């Protein structure tokens, strides 16, 4: 599993947008497809509006092409807790692959 380079932070009351770059895991010409899933550990943070990117994004200063990132909104959590968000998504490869990236979220 690939760990994202950035540790996201939010307060318990905020709703924040998060984007995870899958470019380095994808083969040449391959894109993400379907409905991604987000698992949070420990429980307490809710991820919603989870989707494959439909426009080019800039993530950590890097341009990320359409279909090569997953975006979501995160809410909730307990102050002083670090959460791991594990994001899984299928691809258009033949046969299809299921790729996984994780990122850290500190709730302050």
pTM: 0.91
Nearest in space to 50 (alpha carbons), one of 58, 40, 62: 40
Task: Mention every residue, 6+ apart, whose C-beta is less than 8 A from residue 71.
Answer: 17, 18, 19, 20, 49, 50, 51, 53, 57
Q: Kindly report each contact of residues 61-65 with a partner whose C-beta sits within 8 Å and lies 24 or more positions away, as own/partner.
A: 62/21, 62/23, 64/19, 64/21, 64/23, 65/23
User: What is the number of alpha carbons within 13 Å of residue 47 lying toward its C-beta?
Assistant: 25
Average pLDDT on 36-52 reads 97
For domain 2-107, the CATH architecture is Sandwich (2.60)
pLDDT digits over 2-29, tens only? 555 567 899 999 999 999 999 999 999 9
What pLDDT is stored for residue 7 in this prediction?
A: 76
Q: Nearest 10 degrees: CA dihedral of 61, 48, 9, 65? A: -10
DSSP 92: S
Q: 48 CB contacts (<8 Å, ≥6 apart)?
A: 72, 73, 74, 75
pLDDT in tens, 72-107: 999 999 999 999 999 999 999 999 999 999 999 999
């Amino acid at each position: 599993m690939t760990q994202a380079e950035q540790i996201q932070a939010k307060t318990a009351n905020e709703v924040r947008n998060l984007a995870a770059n899958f470019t380095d895991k994808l083969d040449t010409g391959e894109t993400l497809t379907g409905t991604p899933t987000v698992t949070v550990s420990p429980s307490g943070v809710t991820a919603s509006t989870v989707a494959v990117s439909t426009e080019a994004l800039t993530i950590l200063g890097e341009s990320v092409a359409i279909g090569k990132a997953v975006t979501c909104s995160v809410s909730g959590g307990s102050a002083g807790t670090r959460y791991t968000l594990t994001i899984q998504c299928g691809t258009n490869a033949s046969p299809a692959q299921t790729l996984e990236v994780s990122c850290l979220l500190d709730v302050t």
